[in-house]
Homo-oligomer: A and B are copies of this chain.
């Protein structure tokens, strides 16, 4: 593996000169440049990025820490994040935490050791207190404190929109179905929006939340369907949750949308191959991803951002369930 020194020797110049040729920094005579480039060709020299990172005390690696890349919402997000990073020559390191706090901490520790340039975090834990030094972090959907910028969709407006669309579709007794997640999660605002809009329209509503994330989901849905037989509309906190509800309801002979209208949140179905196609509040995933990375770049550059939370607008996408 030839080094910059070998190139310098072959070209008959100093290593510093080779460095300047490679990086286009400083000035070098055209003739010299040519000599060096020939030597590089001849030796098939490839700059050692690790040595460079080491010397410069920074890398162009950004980590994406999320529960599971398998989740279609996250994989779409990851796709755009990688794309945006690549535009600036940054690389993406992928970390699946499984949502487990100890794994999140383990990864955070590892990322510090590896001196990543920045972190995009979708975590359940309070990341902030566990990151000792000052690695720039942007969080998606989790709002901790000032130090960690948050990018999210407009969950509150999404909740209001969902309620309005349910009503528009004919629902008179709508319910919100969700599961209690992290207190830092912005997604809880979906519920707030739902409630506020119902109140302002004078509509009776029901809130039915799964308290424990690991609780049996089948039991949860069954209980709901038994206890609230007159519900005629459901706003589920995510598309996945909505789909589970629909399946469970179908098994009990409840028809969607005839008996119950259903609206999800996310908009993960990017193809209309499978049915029913969910009516949903669509998050602007691509915009969120690109904004996240742009903000992260700014933080890496040392700029301070004017806002703590950036909320992007959502839209209602009509499917077959309302």
User: A residues bordering B, Cβ < 8 Å?
Assistant: 1, 44, 46-51, 53-54, 59, 61, 64, 68-70, 72, 75-76, 78-79, 82-83, 86, 91-96, 110, 112-115, 132-133, 240, 243-244, 246-247, 269-276
Contact = CB atoms under 8 A, between A and B. Distances in A.
A72 B69 contact: no
A115 B48 contact: yes
A1 B133 contact: yes
Contacts of A274: 243, 269, 274-276
A83 B96 contact: yes
A70 B289 CA distance: 13
Contacts of A269: 274
Contacts of A110: 91
B69 A79 contact: yes
B59 A69 contact: no
A92 B94 contact: yes
Contacts of A48: 113, 115
Contact of A78 (B94, B133, B243, B273): B94
A50 B113 CA distance: 8
Contacts of A1: 133
B72 A78 contact: no
A114 B49 contact: yes
Contacts of A75: 69-70, 72, 75, 78
